[in-house]
Amino acid sequence: MTEIKIRPIQQRDNKEVAKMIRHVLIEQGAPKVGTAYEDKATDQLFETYQKERSEYFVLLEGDRILGSAGISPLDNGDPKVCELQKMYLDPSARGRGMGNQMMQKCLSFAKAQGFEVCYIETLPGMKAAQKLYQKTGFEYISERLGDTGHYSCTIFMKKQLNL
């Protein structure tokens, strides 16, 4: 069996991760505007996550990137709130517990950085993702937090980290 590993993104991963994210968005029928599809950061994830209290992780099976997700302070939000950002899994990684592994890695990082709340936005059609978020303790909230720039994402969720 090939080893599964989660590690921080490296600059050489940028192109492959951006390709995987856009593939998943197309596969999910997500809009290309107002989502990570058109987000300039998607092509420069290594560089984007070089700021304080931020990290972007890649999930590998052998040498193949099958998933990614990041934690960063919520833009224009409470400094105690982080955002789980750009969490995507290749179809071949789904249903194998890899999403949960990635989630745990991100939430552990967030807690270590002193965040008290983790926020996420997603699309209404991404039901499997929402199920994972709920299973991990995220709850639906009615209003957007901060300023993510992803105006097509209309599902908002948060999780208390200090429980």
CATH number at residue 122: 3.40.630.30
CA 71, distance to chain mean position in Å, is 7
Residues in the chain: 163
pLDDT tens, position by position, 30-89: 656 666 656 778 889 999 999 999 999 999 999 999 999 999 999 888 999 999 999 999
How many percent of the chain have pLDDT more than 70?
93
Domain ranges, residue 85: 4-160
Which residue matches tokens 């789904």?
A: 94
Hey, which bits of 19-163 come out as E strands? Answer: 55-61, 64-73, 81-89, 117-122, 139-141, 155-160
Question: How many domains, the chain?
Answer: 1
Nearest to 8 by CA among 37, 35, 48: 48
Q: Which two tokens stand for residue 37?
A: 């599809």
